[in-house]
Structure 1
Amino acid sequence: MGKVAVISGDIVSSTSLVKEDRLMLNDRLKDLIFHLSVKFDTYGRVLKGDYVECVCRKPQESLAVALAIKSFVKSIEVSTGEKSSDKNRIKLFKTHGIRLAIGYGELPTFDTTNGVIDGEAIYLAGRKINEQSGRKKKRVVIKQTLFFESHEELLKEQFDPVMGLLDVLISKATARQSEVLYWKLMGLNEDEIAEKFGVSQSVVNQHSTSVGWNAIEDTVAYYNHTVKRHQS
């Protein structure tokens, strides 16, 4: 196997969600992993209910997969906490949803039967998420939640600013805008999304424009082309 991309991610402020929402989130993530495997031929799993690992056999598609995960999680509605500290953390969840790191590199051990994954790609992604995790901090400070990690310095130089800009753009999206973005990344057109939502195509187009779909689509295409060219 050549170089692959592994996406690692943990839910922001998951411990502040009520039990029912944590269970619901776990089930929704498992559904997401299945649909990503069908659309992008990925292998994914959910660990401890709030941590995601996803292997992209086609690394050029890893940004589209990561954005699909992020927009999917941001579209999920959860309860507001009773304590002020929980309310503040749940606000962080609604703003950011999930931290994600794309690790690009070798993956010599990839045994889906026994669930054993080991190598440079998963190490890079997992280490970045662990660095960003606020599990042991009383006050969670989030500066960025989307990262690209690789020992290929040229790719990092190209993609670091891309990740930062996408992160800011998606953090401003509403739950419904995030849902529209998710379905567009999954290949649905606006008429199909409108039928799914029970609204007009023009409403979907407004959400699409507000979330910056044209810029996101161009950026995903740029990432796809750049990674494919690097692999050739």
Structure 2
Amino acid sequence: MNYSVVSGDIVSSTSLNNEDRKLVEEKLKLLLENLRQKFNVYGRVLKGDYLECVVPNASQGLQVALAIKSFVKSISIDAESYKKTDNRIRQFKIHGIRLAIGYGKLSRYNPEEGIIDGEAIYFSGRAISGETTHNKERIVIKNTLFFASENENLNRNFKPLLALLDVLISKATARQCEVLYFKLMDNQEEEIAQQLGIGQSAVNQHSTSVGWNAIEEAVHYFKMVISKDSV
């Protein structure tokens, strides 16, 4: 059985002040619980800023990754409270989190005991570890979405797709990311409007602006390809 394992590293987390760092940690706990209920995801936070999420239905890996991405980008951090010269906070606002989807088998998986071991988590972890920005004076971030597996055809096919999604989401506002997150969690626009306290027309406008139709197509494409590969 193949799994998708999504590993994530919060961008510029060490530059956040204590209050914002605690806010991010609390929000991540809420996110993981939501993902558990919706997708049966087992997730954990390590060292306060590093995520590991096992997606039992591997075809939902991209949907889960994009839900994480949009959720983190929607976290309200007041960039104005930081020094204007602090480029790291700007990078957090733009990218939020760096994510890699590792696809493959797990030799050991026991959520009750917190055990995850196998190629899927190795693939995702290696992709993230090679992209860290800790302790760098200048941050240059080109990509924040990755896919890794032993299947080179899958790796090649998904690379440009994730690069395009990366660009779309990096340009999205916090409100657009809120709407995107709820959409990725399969909420209808009327439900989203009620949860956010805005009109349904506003939800639709944010959805259109963030490129929901393209994102939805990408999620369906990923599901189709992974489902066929798993047969």
Give TM class, smaller chain.
over 0.9
Deviations 1:33-77 (A, max 9, x none): 010011011100011111000001000000000000000000011
Q: Which residue is 2:93 aligned to?
A: 94
How far off its partner does 1:16 sit?
0.8
Alignment of 1:101-116 (within 5 A): 101-116=100-115
Q: Which residue is 1:141 aligned to?
A: 140
Q: What is the Cα-based RMSD across aligned positions, in Å?
A: 1.0
Contact persistence 1:180–1:207 (CA under 8 A): yes
Once residues 4 and 194 of structure 1 are traced to their aligned partners in structure 2, the CA distance between those partners, rounded to angstroms, is 33
How far off its partner does 1:82 sit?
3.4
Q: Which residue is 2:156 aligned to?
A: 157
Alignment of 1:1-232 (within 5 A): 2-80=1-79, 81-86=81-86, 88-232=87-231
Deviations 1:158-203 (A, max 9, x none): 1111110000010000000000000001011111111112221111
Partner-residue secondary structure (3-state), 1:139:
coil
Show structure 2 runs of 5+ residues with no match.
none
How far off its partner does 1:84 sit?
4.1
Once residues 116 and 217 of structure 2 are traced to their aligned partners in structure 1, the CA distance between those partners, rounded to angstroms, is 32
Contact persistence 1:12–1:98 (CA under 8 A): yes
Contact persistence 1:17–1:79 (CA under 8 A): no
Once residues 136 and 128 of structure 1 are traced to their aligned partners in structure 2, the CA distance between those partners, rounded to angstroms, is 18
Once residues 120 and 82 of structure 2 are traced to their aligned partners in structure 1, the CA distance between those partners, rounded to angstroms, is 40
Partner-residue secondary structure (3-state), 2:112:
coil
Once residues 110 and 193 of structure 2 are traced to their aligned partners in structure 1, the CA distance between those partners, rounded to angstroms, is 40
Counterpart residue identity of residue 37, structure 2: V
Moved more, 134-143 or 48-57: 134-143
Once residues 27 and 224 of structure 1 are traced to their aligned partners in structure 2, the CA distance between those partners, rounded to angstroms, is 30
Q: How many residues align?
A: 230
How far off its partner does 1:12 sit?
0.3
Once residues 199 and 76 of structure 2 are traced to their aligned partners in structure 1, the CA distance between those partners, rounded to angstroms, is 22
Show structure 1 runs of 5+ residues with no match.
none
Partner-residue secondary structure (3-state), 1:132:
coil
How far off its partner does 1:137 sit?
1.6
Counterpart residue identity of residue 40, structure 2: D
Once residues 25 and 174 of structure 1 are traced to their aligned partners in structure 2, the CA distance between those partners, rounded to angstroms, is 17
Q: Give the fraction of aligned pairs with identical amino acids, expressed as a percent.
A: 57
How far off its partner does 1:136 sit?
3.1
Partner-residue secondary structure (3-state), 1:32:
helix
Contact persistence 1:7–1:53 (CA under 8 A): yes
Partner-residue secondary structure (3-state), 1:187:
coil
Partner-residue secondary structure (3-state), 1:135:
coil
Counterpart residue identity of residue 70, structure 1: K
Contact persistence 1:73–1:97 (CA under 8 A): yes
Counterpart residue identity of residue 148, structure 1: F
Once residues 157 and 117 of structure 1 are traced to their aligned partners in structure 2, the CA distance between those partners, rounded to angstroms, is 26
